[in-house]
Every structure is written in structure tokens, then in C-alpha cells.
Structure 1
Amino acid sequence: MKHSGKVPDFQDFVECVEKANSGKINTKVLSIGDLFAWKDCTSKQNLKCRGEVPYARDMVKLTAERGITYLLYSTKYDEPCSKVLNFLQAMLMKNFPLP
């Protein structure tokens, strides 16, 4: 990294590591799927019954609390998180699996 100068982003860092030690180092950029195989536990029925499906791009604030199985969100910066997003399957409400 001393020879490369500034390393402004992660891709430049990956290139520095690949070039180190005369190319004898194999690199693999990990994604979240490489660390844990997340199971999709969303309830399609809960989301369909809501009518309006909120997208992450529209949410500006999100509140998650321990022990509560729903999320509170807001689509405007100047209002509190008051909209409820209940998206999990009913069978998970009883014993929520922890990763």
C-alpha cells in the first residue's frame, strides 16, 4: 500500500492485496451470502394485504427494537417512525430464530 499511494476505495485495496507478494496471494471478496445463508422468512400474504409495499429506497428512518417482531419506519425526515412494517411469517412470531 505504500507503493500504491492513496487507496481511496475498497476495490483499490483489493488490487493492492492481489499485487502484494508477487501475485502469490489469492483474494476473494466476500458478500453477506458467503458469511451466512439467510432464509427468506417474509410473509407474502402480510405484504399483499397491506396493499402498498414499502421499498427500502423510500424509507428514510427505520427503528428495530429487541423483542419486537416488526419494524417501524418513516418516509419523511421530519416525522417520527410511526408506520408499522410487519413482514415476517406467523410461525416465526412465536420463536424467532437468531443467526
Structure 2
Amino acid sequence: MTSDSHDIFKALADPCRRELLDRLTEENGQTLGSLCERMAISRQGVTKHLALLEAANLVVVVWRGREKLHYLNPEPIQQIYQRWLGKFEPQRLQALATLKQALEDK
């Protein structure tokens, strides 16, 4: 596992960070204030979680004047999906099961 993958998995391991990513999926380009709404942690806590998400490249920041907008970067998650999860798609699993059955029938 690369250090990038390690950072991504570490960032995804926390439920608060996953909630922030979910909120950005629902509405991308949010300010810190809007992300803090409905969170069960302090503004400082949200800031720390966002910093970890930024370090893992899961969130990117765009400044609009004085506003700091947070955007979801889905690329690292897509890379994780392709490397670790994509091989377990139903079509692939079915193909493997068919191959296994054919080998057992020989």
C-alpha cells in the first residue's frame, strides 16, 4: 500500500470525516460554517478533520474572495475502488464462480 493509499484509508476510517464527505457529495463547494451545521463536534474539530481530508487529497479548497469553499475530490476514492473493490463487482464474481465451476467439472 502506498503512503497515499494509507492517508486515504486513514482519512476514511473516521465517521466524522465520512460524514463530511457525504455532506460534500450532497452539496459540493461548502464553507466551513455550512459544514459545521448539524455536526456533533466543534468548529475546531471540523477544521481538523477537513485538514486531514485535504492532506489525503479527498477535499480540495477553492478561495472565492474571502470565502474558503471545500470540494470533494472523488479521484482518490475512484483509485481505491479500482484497486481494492472493483474486483468484487458482481459480474467479476460471477465470472470467477463460473471459471471455478468449470475447473471443478474437469
* Same-fold status (TM-score > 0.5): no
Q: Normalising to structure 2: TM-score of the pair?
A: 0.21
Higher RCO structure, 1 or 2 (CA under 8 Å, sep 6+): 2
Q: Normalising to structure 1: TM-score of the pair?
A: 0.22
